[in-house]
Structure 1
Amino acid sequence: MEKLKFGIISLGCDKNRIDSELVIAKLNKKYELVIDPKEADIILINTCGFIESSKQESINTILEMAKYKKIYKCKILIVTGCLSQRYKEELLDLMPEIDIILGVNNYDKLLESIDIFLKNNNKLLYCEDNDNFIYDGERVLTTNKHLAYLRISEGCNNFCTYCVIPKIRGKYRSRKIEDIINEAKILANNGVKELILVAQDTTMYGIDIYNEKKLPFLIKKLSQIEGIEWIRLMYAYPEEITKELILEIKNNLKVCKYIDMPIQHISNSVLRRMNRRGKKEDIINNINMIRKEIKDICLRTSIIVGFPGETEDEFNELKKFIKDFKFDKLGVFEYSQEEGTVAATMSNQIDENIKKLRKEELMLLQQQISRELNENKIGNIYDVLIEKYENGIYYGRSYEMAPDIDGNVFLSSNENFRIGEIIPIKITKALEYDLIGVVYNESCK
C-alpha cells in the first residue's frame, strides 16, 4: 500500500519550530513528507496563540487548509500547538473541519490519533495540562542544515501580567545538561555549525534542577563540541544576566558577542504593572556592565508600547532611553489585551491608534539609530556565514545577526561558496538593517 503523505505548517516562535521538527520526525516513521500541502493526505498546523495577531494568523491558516479537504487530497486536518492548548474545546466547536486537536504536551498521541481517525472517523482531542516533562527526541531540521535552534528549558515562572505562556507551557523546567549536550553532538555530526539557545528565559537555566543558574557552564560544555563554531544566546532576561555569564560570552571564542535581552519597557511604574522582576536601574547597570566587558557586543531587545495606563511621560521616558542607549537591534510590539491575563482586566486600556502611533515613532527612531550604527561598520571585516545564493547575490549573516529577524550581509562574487561556509567579508556599504560587502583578501588591505 502506498504511504499516506503529510504536510506541516509551523507558525510562531523558534520554540514552536522545534516542536514541529520533532513532529516531522515522528510522522516520518510512518508517512511521507511533502512540501506542498496540496499533495498531502494529512495536514498538520502547529499554531501560535501568544497574542491577537498570532492567534488570527493561526485561525486564518486553519480555515485556509480546511478548504484543502474539499478541493485537494487532504483526509485529516490536525491542529496542534499553543492555540489548541489555550482554547481546546472551543476550536473543535467553532471549526468542525478540524479532525484532531493536540496540545503542546500530547505529541506522543499523534500517530495513535491518526490511526484511530482513519479507522472510525471519530474526532479526537488531547490537550492535557502537564508541566512535568519536556517533549524531545529525534528532529528533522526545517532550518538550513548548518544551524539549529536548541531548546534548553520549557515553560516560565515569571508571570508577567500581559503573558499567557505560563498557562500554556506550564512552569519553568530545565533539560538535563547531558541531554542537551547529546542532542548538540547529534546536530554537529549532521553538519550544524551554529547553535541558537532558546527558552522562555535562558538566564534561569538550571535553577530548578541544579539549584543554581547553570547557563555559563552549559555554554562552556557546548563550545567543546567539535563542529560547533557559533553559539548564540536568545531570550536572556536583563536583570538575571550575571557577571559569570558576561565573562563566558566575553572569553569563549565560539560564543557570538550577541545577546537578545527583552526589556519590554524602562519606566519603573510600567515595569511594576507588568510584574517584571527588574527595575530601570538594574537594566541600565547590566547594559553598561555588558558593554564595558565585551568589546563589540551586539544587543537586541524588544519593547511593548501601549501597555495599560502608559502615559505620555512614561512613553517619552522609554523613547529617551532608546535614543540614549542605541540598541543594535530592537523590535517593538503593540500591547495585546489577552484574556486570562491580569493586564487584560486593568483599567486605562490604551486606544489602538495610540499604540500604533507609538510603535511607528519608536521604529522610525530605531531605523535612524540602526542606519548610523551600520554606517560606522563600513570598512570593518566580519566572518559571515553564507546562507543563500540567488540572482548572483550571496546572502549571509555576521555574529551580529540572528536568522530571520536581524538582516543580512549581501555580497556579489564570482567565487563559488558553499551554503554554510564562513568567509571574511569587508563592509563597503550600509543600509538601515543590512550590510553590503566584498570578500576580504590581501588585495582589500
Structure 2
Amino acid sequence: MKFTETKPTKTLHLVSLGCTKNLVDSEIMLGKLKEYEITNDPTIADVIIVNTCGFIDSAKEESINTILNLHDERKEESVLVMAGCLTQRYQEELQKELPEIDIFTGVGDYDKIDKLVNEKRSAFTDEVFLLNETNDRVITGSSYHAYIKLSEGCNQTCSFCAIPSFKGKLHSRTLESLIKEVKNLVSNGYKDFSFVSQDSSSYLRDLGERDGLEKLVEEVEKIEGIQSARILYLYPSTTSLSLIEKIKNSTVFENYFDMPLQHISSNILKIMKRGKGVEKLKELMNSMKAVPNSFVRTTFIVGHPGESQEDFEELCKFVRDYKFDRANVFSYSDEDGTAAYEMLDKVPQEIIDERANFLGEIIKETTIQSLEQEIGNEVEVYVDGESEEHEYLLSARKVSWAPDIDGEIYINDNELLNEAGEAKQIEFGGKYTVRITELVGDKLLATVIK
C-alpha cells in the first residue's frame, strides 16, 4: 500500500481595520496569499496580518492595541505583519518602537505581500498601490456585494486631515480598468456594488476628465447582471447638480448620497478649507433630498480649532432641520502634519466631548425618524443570512443602503410560498420584496411578500 505525503496547509489570520477602502486592500493581500487557509483563530495562524488605520487618534490606538494583543497570543514561529496607513505614516517610529513585529509595510506593497512574507522582510514603496483588473481579490463578507475602489490619494487640503501626507495626490484608476473588474465580479455572481475612494466625486480629474463619475454611471449601466450600485464619499466642491441628476435618472445606481459635510458654519468651513460656500452647500443638499426615495448620509467634526458655541449651535440647528437619514459625528483629533495642528485657538477636550455627545443625541433622533418613515412600506432587500439576534430571524438590508453602516432589517420568516403555493426556502444573497411592519429599538422588522 502506497502512502502519499500531504503537505500541511499553512494558515493565515487577517484583521482589516478602518474604512472599506482598507478592506479592498486587505482583499488584495488575501488574493496574493491564496495558498494559505484563512483561520479565525490567531493562536494557530502561521501568518498574522493587521491592515492598520492611521486616520485619527482612536483608530491609531485600536491599530496598536490589536497588533500587540495578537503578538501576545500568537504561536512562537508565526510571522506578524503590520501593514497599511498607520505604518506608512509612522514607519520609522514604529520600526524602532515595536520590535515584536516581524514585517512592516505601508500602502504601496499590497500586491507584493506574498514575497514579503516569504522573504520575511519589510518594504515601503514610495508610490501608493493602485488596484487594476488583473489583481486577484478574495471578496470577504458577502457572496453578492463587492466594494470597488475608484482611486487613491486626495487633492483636497482639509485642515484636519493627514491622509494626503501619506497617501499622496489623487491617482484615479482608468475607467476601462474599473469596468473590467466589475464585469469579472459580475461573472462570478456579484450583483451589488459600492464605489469608494477618499474623494469619489474627483474621480478622473487627475486624468483631465471633469465628469468622471457621470461617465462611470453611464458605463456601469451597460453591464448586464448588475442589480444595484451606490457611490460613497462625495466631496462638496467637486459634486455637481448634474451628477445628482445623473444618479436620479440611473436604472442601476441607487438614489444614495453620501457626502461628509464636516460642518455647516461658514466660519468653520473656511477654517477647515472645505472650499464650498454655505449657500451652494445647502443647494446641493436640498437637491439630494428632493430626489424621489433619496437616502442622504453625512459626517460632522465637532471641536475643530476656532469652533465657537455659536458655530456649534448653527450646526445643531441644521442637523435638526435637515433630518439626515444617517449621520456620524467625530470629535476633532489633533493630527501632526495638518494645518489645524498648528492653530492656536484649540477647543478644550471636555467641551469637544460634550458637543460630540449633544450632536450624537440629535443624530439618534433623526435616524429614528428616518427609520419610522419606513413602517408600512414595501421595499426591496438583500437577505444576508441568520441574524445574530435570534436563529429564527433573518438579517437583511434595504437595497439602497450601504452594507454594515446604514442598518439591518430583521425578517421573521425563512420560507416563501411560490406561485404554485409551495414553500420555498429564502436564499441568502437573494433579493426580495418585504413589507416593513414595525420598529423595535433601531431595528426594522419585516415580512417577505415576494
TM-score w.r.t. the length of structure 1 is: 0.93
Contact 1:304 / 1:333 at 8 angstroms: preserved in 2? yes
Tell me: CA distance 1:246–1:96, structure 2 relative to 1, closer, same or farther (3 Å): same
Shift of 1:428: 1.2
Query: 1:34: Cα distance to partner?
Result: 2.3
Q: Is the 8 A contact 1:42 1:74 kept in 2?
A: no
Q: Structure 2: any 5+ residue segments left out of the alignment?
A: 1-6, 416-424
Residues 1:90 and 2:93 aligned together: yes
Kindly indicate whether residue 205 of structure 2 is the aligned counterpart of residue 207 of structure 1: yes
Q: Secondary structure at the match of 1:385?
A: strand
Aligned twin of 1:53: 58
Quick one: distance in 2 between partners of 1:240 and 1:431? 39
What number of residue pairs does the alignment pair up? 430
Residue 372 (structure 1) aligned to one of 369, 375, 382: 369
| 1:320 shift after superposition | 0.6
Corresponding residue number in structure 2 for 1:252: 250
Using the alignment, how far apart are the partners of 2:77 and 2:275 within structure 1?
47
Counterpart contact for 2:131–2:173, Cα < 8 Å: no
1:134 and 2:130 are equivalent in the alignment? yes
Q: CA offset at residue 4 of structure 1?
A: 2.7
**Matched residue, 2:448:** 439
How far did 1:373 drift?
A: 2.6
Task: For 1:344-359, list aligned pairs within 5 A.
Answer: 344-359=341-356
1:173/1:440 CA distance change after superposition, 3 Å: same
| 1:113 aligned partner | 116
SS at match of 2:148: strand
Deviation at 1:432, TM superposition (A): 5.5
Contact residue 156 and residue 166 of structure 1 kept, 8 A: yes
Which one of 439, 447, 450 corresponds to residue 430 of structure 1?
439
Could you tell me how far 1:142 is from its partner in structure 2? 1.1
CA offset at residue 409 of structure 1? Answer: 1.3
Q: SS of the residue aligned with 1:163?
A: coil
Aligned twin of 1:68: 73
RMSD between aligned residues:
1.6
Code of the residue aligned with 1:338 in structure 2: it is E
Cα shift at 1:99: 0.9
> Following the alignment from structure 1 to structure 2, what is the Cα–Cα distance between the partners of residues 221 and 109?
31
Question: Where in structure 2 are the equivalents of 1:147-226 lying within 5 Å?
Answer: 147-226=145-224
The offset of 1:356, in angstroms, is 1.4
What TM-score do the two structures reach when normalised by structure 2?
0.92
Q: For residues 167 and 328 of structure 1, what CA distance do their matches in structure 2 show?
A: 32
- Give yes or no for contact 1:39–1:73 (8 Å, CA) kept in 2: no
1:232·1:255 contact (CA, 8 Å) conserved in 2? yes
Decide whether the 8 Å contact of 1:43 with 1:74 is kept in 2: no
One-letter amino acid matched to 2:155: N
Partner of 1:38, secondary structure, is: coil
Q: Which moved more, 1:254-263 or 1:219-228?
A: 219-228
| Residues 1:41 and 1:412: Cα distance change in structure 2 (over 3 Å) | same
Q: For residues 112 and 400 of structure 1, do their structure 2 counterparts lie closer, same or farther at Cα, with a shift above 3 Å needed?
A: closer
Aligned mates of 1:89, 1:125 — CA distance in 2: 12
What is the deviation of 1:402?
1.4
Note if 1:103 corresponds to 2:106. yes
Q: Contact 2:154/2:168 (CA < 8 Å) preserved in 1?
A: yes
- 4+ residue segments displaced more than 3 Å: none
DSSP-derived class of the 1:370 partner: helix
2:76 and 2:140 map into 1 onto residues whose CA distance is 24
Q: Does 1:235 align with 2:233?
A: yes
SS at structure 2 position matched to 1:211: coil
After superposition, the C-alpha distances for 1:90-125 in whole angstroms (9 at most, x for unaligned) are 1111110111101101234422222323xxxxxx33
Equivalent position of 1:120 in the other structure: none
Runs (5+) with no aligned partner, structure 1: 118-123
